Amino acid sequence: MKKFLVILLSCYFVYGLAVSIYIFYGSDSSLPVVYKGSAADPELFMTDRELELSQEFSQIKNIIYFLRIPLEWGAYLAILIFGLSNAFEKWAKKRKFFIVQTAIFVFFISLFVRIIYLPIDIYSYKVSVAYGVATQSMASWFKDVAITFLVNLIVMTIVIATIVFLLKKAKQKWWVYTWLLSIPFTVFFMYFQPVIIAPLFNDFYELQNKELQSEILELANEAGIPAERVYEVNMSEKTNAMNAYVTGIGSNLRIVLWDTTLEKLEKDEVLFIMAHEIGHYVKNHLLLSLLGSIASTFFGLYVSNRLLQWSLNKWGENLKIHSQASFAIIPALLLIFSLLTFVSTPVSNVISRYHELEADRFAIEMTKDPDAAIGSFQALTKAGLSDVNPPTVVKWLRYTHPTMLERLIFLESFRNNSQ
């Protein structure tokens, strides 16, 4: 165990050093010369101090992201190798009911991973506050962490209980039945998330500016969105960043604006942002995301099953996992899920960036106001201290949206072509 711990910490140190060298010295996020003086040139819409803060903030956040990735893997490995998985299972099985046993086991696993994450998450929070992006108090931040932990505990208990039950009853086909059950669960979650989960973190209320609401609903009606009202959310209590989104399905479909967006953008800029979000609905991105999630879950579970069987055959005895249908196997499965999610991230990000660009194109064609569009993205860059042209690896792994360079150059090209 000591040898494993030394190797694990040594690898993490070397990895962290390599990441820091790449972010600070091996990557180039400067604006290409050809775009100097364009709408994407941050020197035209940011002060020298804002440019300095943006570079520092982006570099620190990128390092935090990369340092955070292997912590989950290390946590699951430690649980398996140090025998914690078997200990957690013994404590859980002192209770009578299977669902209670599952909840106890998931609680210990989740708590262990949460503790591993906590120092770097606190540092990330403090960095965001120090750079003026976050405005949330420490007490409020811890409250959100606790709510997230409890929500994940409930969801994970249901998921893990289902998987362990199917591992017992259908050893070879458990992953097929898990996938089939995941479909209605995913749809159910998408339907109720806007009205049950989201309000746990923030207050949602009908948009106070009735004139703006009328114009947004007019855009929605023109695009065929069956929305009856626009919601405002009090994000200014937590951040200076801006955002808006369309979420939910069926009768729970919602158009949501952060109050920071309303405070910092002009009306025409807000309308462009909303046209972008409406574009996601019109282009069926919500449905495509749902179908993509269902498809990726199928392949992910299939690969996970193969990797799990291989791992058990190779290391099962050493890890004292004597049965496939036991709680002790769950950390191995969660480790596999996490690794597969990481490997698939660049692909899912490419798809997401394509959808975002489609929504940008829809919004500019709908509003025909490139100046407002450019102004909105420049304001978003300033408020979030975003990197206009992030390093390539960072873009692959972190960016679900096109870079601000790509978005602003696209909008400027549209403006030039329309003149």
Instruction: Note the maximum CA span of the chain.
Output: 74
277 counts as catalytic? yes
What span, in angstroms and rounded, lies between the C-alpha atoms of 273 and 50?
Answer: 23
State how far the alpha carbon of 97 is from the alpha carbons of 4, 165, 322, in Å: 36, 13, 22
Of residues 102, 6, 42, 15, the one with CA closest to residue 377: 42
Count, residues in the chain: 419
H or E, element range at 257: strand 254-258
H or E, element range at 245: strand 244-247
Task: Confirm whether residue 215 is marked as ligand binding.
Answer: no
CA-based R_g, the chain, Å: 23
What span, in angstroms and rounded, lies between the C-alpha atoms of 64 and 126?
Answer: 12
Pick the catalytic residue: 277, 369, 387, 406? Answer: 277
28 counts as catalytic? no
Identity of residue 305: N
Find out whether 259 and 235 touch, Cβ atoms under 8 Å: yes
Pick the catalytic residue: 259, 269, 360, 387? Answer: 360
Task: Confirm whether residue 280 is marked as ligand binding.
Answer: yes
Query: Mapping DSSP to helix (H, G, I), strand (E, B) and coil, where does residue 134 land?
Result: strand
What span, in angstroms and rounded, lies between the C-alpha atoms of 385 and 398?
Answer: 15
| Contacts with 335 (C-beta within 8 Å, 6 or more apart), sequence order | 73, 76, 77, 80
Task: Confirm whether residue 322 is marked as ligand binding.
Answer: no
What span, in angstroms and rounded, lies between the C-alpha atoms of 21 and 414?
Answer: 38
Of residues 197, 229, 201, the one with CA closest to residue 213: 229
What span, in angstroms and rounded, lies between the C-alpha atoms of 407 and 353?
Answer: 10
Point out the annotated binding site: 276, 280, 356
Would you please indicate which residues are annotated as catalytic (active-site) residues?
277, 360
Point out the annotated binding site for Zn(2+): 276, 280, 356
